[in-house]
A and B are shown apart, each in its own frame.
Chain A
Amino acid sequence: MSNIEQEADFGDAVPGDEPLDDHEPAEGVGSYLIGLGLAILLTLVSFFIARTTLVWEPSIPVALAVLAIAQMGVHLVFFLHITTGPDNVNNVLALAFGVLIVFLVIAGSLWIMANMNHNMMPMDQIMQMQR
C-alpha cells in the first residue's frame, strides 16, 4: 500500500452521504438544489390539484397519491442519496422491506375494516334488538 490517503472500498455507501470528494462545499450542493426544485414543483402541483375544479373530481385523490409518491422518491434520491448503484443494494433492500410492511399495514387495515363495516348490522336494527 503506497498511497496512505486512499481508503478501502467496503462496497457499501453510507445512507445520506452525498458523493463528495473535495473539501469544497459547493461540490455537493447540486443534488440538493435539484431535489429542492423538483419537490417545490410537485408540491405546487399537489396544492393546485387539490383545489382545482378543472379536472374530473374522482381522479383527484389518485393524482394526489401519485404526486406524493413521486415527491417521496425525489426526497429519497436527492436528499437521502439512495441510488440504484451496487454500493446501495443494502440500503435499497432495507427500504423495500420497509415499504412492504407499510403497504401490508395500510392496505390490510383498510381492507379488513371496510369488510367489517360492510358486514355490520345497520345501527337501527341493533337499536331494535336492544329494546
Chain B
Amino acid sequence: MSAFDATAERDIPRAEPARARHHAADELALKRIVVGFGFWIFLLSDIVMFSAFFASYAVLVGATAGGPSGRELFNLDNVAIETACLLLSSFTCGLASIGARTRNGLWFYGAMAATFLLGAAFLAIELHEFMNMIAIGAGPTRSAFLSAFFTLVGCHGLHVTAGLLWLLTMMAQVFAKGYRPDILRRVLCFSLFWHALDIVWVALFTVVYLMGVAA
C-alpha cells in the first residue's frame, strides 16, 4: 500500500523528516482502513434496508388485484441489457479505482467516464420501462404488487442516480484537487457504493424479473 502520499495532508517539519513522515504515512494508512470499514458498515445497513423492500415485494407479489402480473409486464431482453450495463460499469469502476490509486489520469478519467455512460444507459432503459408501464395503466397505484415493484426497483434506481452524481463529483474533485489522500478515500467509498449497487441488482433481477417470468 505505497500509493498514499505521506506529505500531502499535513506539514512535515523539515528537521526530523524520516520519523515524522513515517508517522504521517501510518496515520493516513490507518485512516483509510477506518473510513473504508465505516463505509462498509453503512453499505451493509443500506442492504438491510433493501431487504425490507425485498420482503414486502415477496409478500405482495401475488396481490395483483385483477391487474397485470410480472409475467405480462416484464421484458427480459430489456433486463438483460440493463444487467450488462451495470455489470460492465462495475468492472470499469474497478479499473477507475486502480487508476486513482496509481494516479494514472488516463485510466481514472477514462474508466470513470465509461462507468458514467453505462450507468446512465441503465437508468435510461429503466425509466423507459417505468414510463411504458405507467402508460398502459400499470403504474404504482394499480395494485399492491405494482406498488411494491415500483418501490423496490425505484429505490435501486434512485441509488444509481445518486451514484452517478457522486461519480461526476469525484471526477471534478480529482481534477480540481489532485490525488490527495482525502480525495482518494472518497473515491474508495464511491467504488464500494457502486459495487454494492451491482450486488443489489443481482438479487433484484433474479427475484423480480427472472422469478417473475419463470414462476
Report whether B51 and A75 are in contact in the complex, using a CB–CB cutoff of 8 Å.
Answer: no
Cα–Cα, bound, A15→B80 (Å): 29
- Closest residue on chain B to residue A11 by CB atoms: B33
Nearest CB on A from B207, distance (A) = 8
Contact of A106 among B45, B58, B214 (CB under 8 A): B58
Contact between A113 and B59, CB atoms less than 8 A apart:
yes
B-side contacts of A28, CB under 8 Å: 94, 98, 101
Complex partner residue of A64 from B44, B56, B97, B214, CB under 8 angstroms: B214
**Least Cβ–Cβ distance between A6 and chain B, in angstroms:** 8
Contact A102 B192, beta carbon cutoff 8 Å: no
Q: Tell which of B4, B56, B210, B211 touches A47, judged by Cβ atoms closer than 8 Å.
A: B210
Task: Determine how close the nearest CB of chain A comes to the CB of B7; give it in whole angstroms.
Answer: 12
Contacts of A108 in B (CB 8 A): 55
B180 at interface (Cβ–Cβ under 8 A)? no
Q: Which positions 1-49 of chain A face chain B at CB distance < 8 Å?
A: 1, 4-5, 7-8, 10, 12-18, 20-25, 27-29, 32, 35-36, 39-40, 43, 46-47, 49
Q: How far is the CA of A94 from the CA of B47 in the complex (A)?
A: 12
Chain B interface, number of residues (Cβ within 8 angstroms)? 65
For B101, the closest partner residue in chain A by CB is A20
A105 at the binding interface (Cβ < 8 Å): yes
B210 touches A105 (CB 8 A): no
Interface residues of A in 54-90 (CB under 8 A from B): 60-61, 64-65, 67-68, 71-72, 75-76, 79-80, 90
Q: Are A64 and B211 in contact (CB under 8 A)?
A: yes
List of A residues within 8 angstroms of B207 by Cβ? 68
Binding site for A on B (CB under 8 A): 1-4, 18-19, 21-22, 25-26, 29-30, 32-33, 36-37, 39-41, 44-45, 47-48, 51-52, 54-56, 58-59, 76, 80, 83-84, 87-88, 90-91, 94-95, 97-99, 101-104, 107, 188, 191-192, 195-196, 198-199, 202-203, 205-207, 210-211, 213-215
Q: Chain A: residues with CB nearer than 8 A to chain B?
A: 1, 4-5, 7-8, 10, 12-18, 20-25, 27-29, 32, 35-36, 39-40, 43, 46-47, 49-51, 60-61, 64-65, 67-68, 71-72, 75-76, 79-80, 90-91, 94-95, 97-98, 101-102, 105-106, 108-110, 113
Known: A15-B39, A75-B90. 16 other contacts (CB 8 A): A7-B25, A13-B33, A14-B32, A17-B36, A32-B91, A40-B87, A50-B210, A50-B213, A51-B76, A64-B206, A64-B210, A80-B196, A95-B40, A106-B51, A109-B55, A109-B56
